[in-house]
Amino acid sequence: SQQGEEDPQALSIQEGENATMNCSYKTSINNLQWYRQNSGRGLVHLILIRSNEREKHSGRLRVTLDTSKKSSSLLITASRAADTASYFCATDGDNDMRFGAGTRLTVKP
Amino acid sequence: KAGVTQTPRYLIKTRGQQVTLSCSPISGHRSVSWYQQTPGQGLQFLFEYFSETQRNKGNFPGRFSGRQFSNSRSEMNVSTLELGDSALYLCASSLRIISGANVLTFGAGSRLTVL
């Protein structure tokens, strides 16, 4: 079964705009991670935020975590056509890593 | 260093057959996890192996099995294939450091089509 749920399921924006994706989860976590998947390929790790952190930045990525609401958001600033991909949140608990269903982001040039 | 290698990349089977997929992790990574990805269900956790032992198992029928060898390479097997087993099977390896974050490195996947 999946742990996280991303919202929205799909997002279409213009190049240069910001993209925000949300993730909600159900159980306690040690950390939460975001991955990107280009069409039909493997996932690539983007960023990790620990349960005791509230915000983290990496280049054009900004991740927030609210453990009281069991939710996280991923912000991609100044998006590019190359950012077109599916984005997944993954919760790392005491057992295994569970992924959400993903948000499909399309960035139009 | 070499990434996670999955073979074969594509395969077509018929219902009732069985299939074995292989995964070679990044050198030094002792944990290998398997996921099934379908358009309707997203990524579903199959199992994780660490040092040749199954560490966790997802909610899949017994037709799905796996193993890990002493060199950390892993195989998964699906017996008596069903149409619904058509999916992209992803393998991921990690260091699995105790008390540390478990960051996964994925292979490109094996796309299985069951006819």
What lies within 8 Å, CB to CB, of B98 at 6+ separation is none
Q: Do A96 and B58 touch (CB under 8 A)?
A: yes
Task: Sort out which chain A residues have CB atoms less than 8 A from B108's CB and list them.
Answer: 41-42
Question: Would you say B64 and B112 are in contact if contact means Cβ atoms under 8 Å apart?
Answer: no
10-residue mean pLDDT profile of chain A (109 residues): values are 76 97 91 92 93 96 96 97 96 83 94
Question: Would you say B37 and B88 are in contact if contact means Cβ atoms under 8 Å apart?
Answer: yes
Give the integer Cα–Cα distance in Å for A104 and A81: 13
DSSP B72: S
Chain A residue closest in CA terms to B9: A41
> What digits encode the pLDDT tens for the residues B71-84?
999 999 999 999 99
Distances (CA, A) of B20 to A46, A58, A59, B55: 30, 38, 40, 20
Residue found by looking up tokens 């982001």 in the block: A105
Q: For residue B99, name the pLDDT band (cuts at 50, 70, 90).
A: low
Give the integer Cα–Cα distance in Å for B18 and A99: 27
Q: Do B101 and A92 touch (CB under 8 A)?
A: yes
